[in-house]
Amino acid sequence: MKKTNKPARKASPKPKRKPTAAKRKPVAAKPEPAPVATFQAKVQSGPVDGGAIPYLEVTIRDQVTEDSMVRLFEQVRGEISRSQVKRVLVDLREGSVALTISDMHGLAKMVATTFVGVLERFALVLRPQDAPAEKFFEPSVSNRGLPTFETTDPAEAADWIAAKLRPAL
C-alpha cells in the first residue's frame, strides 16, 4: 500500500429526513392515575349500652408537617362544624407524621383551644413508627380540658371514642 500525504476522506453526512404526518402513528396518552384523596371524613356510630353514639372518623392520607398541619386542622374543623358531632377520631395511619415535639405541642394547643367546650372526646390513631415514645399529645390536650386518647390501635380508639363519659367528680 502506498502512503499519501492527503488526509483521509470523511464520509459525507446523510441528509436528515423530516417525518411526515402520514407515517406517524398517534401515541395513546397514558391515563393519569386517579388522585388519592388526602382527606376523608365520615360519621360513624359506636354502640353503647344498647344505644349508639355518633362520632366523626377522619382519615388523613397526607404527610403531616409543620406546613400542612394548619391546613389539615382547618379541614377537620370544617367537617366537625358540618357534622355537628361531639366526638372525633382522627386516623393518620394512611399518612405520616413529620412533626417535631414543639410542632406536636403547637397542634395540641390548637386542638384544645378550638375544641374545648365543643367536643366531648378526641382520639388520634398513629402508625407505630410515628407514635412518640412518650405520650405527649394526649396529656397536653387532656390537661387543657378535652379528653384525648392517642394510640396505634384503631379498634382501641373506636372503643374509647364511643364509650360513655365518666361523670365529673
Pick the more confident residue, 92 or 153: 153
Instruction: Provide the grid cell at 133.
Output: 415514645
Q: Where are the alpha helices (DSSP H) in 5-163?
A: 66-83, 101-115, 137-142, 154-162
Over 70: is that where the pLDDT of 72 sits? yes
Strands (E), 30-133: 39-48, 51-60, 63-64, 87-91, 96-97, 121-125
3-state secondary structure of 55: strand
Instruction: Provide the grid cell at 117.
Output: 367546650
Q: Which of 18-27, 69-78, 119-128, 137-146 has the lowest mean pLDDT?
A: 18-27
Find the distance separating the first CA and the last CA of the chain, reported in whole Å. Answer: 113
Over 80: is that where the pLDDT of 25 sits? no
Over 80: is that where the pLDDT of 16 sits? no
Indicate the pTM of the whole model.
Answer: 0.68
Q: So what's the pLDDT on residue 9?
A: 64
> What mean pLDDT is reported for the chain?
76
3-state secondary structure of 134: coil
Sketch out the chain's domains with CATH numbers.
39-162 (3.30.750.24)
Q: So what's the pLDDT on residue 41?
A: 55
Q: Which of 10-24, 31-45, 48-62, 148-162 has the lowest mean pLDDT?
A: 31-45
Over 70: is that where the pLDDT of 70 sits? yes
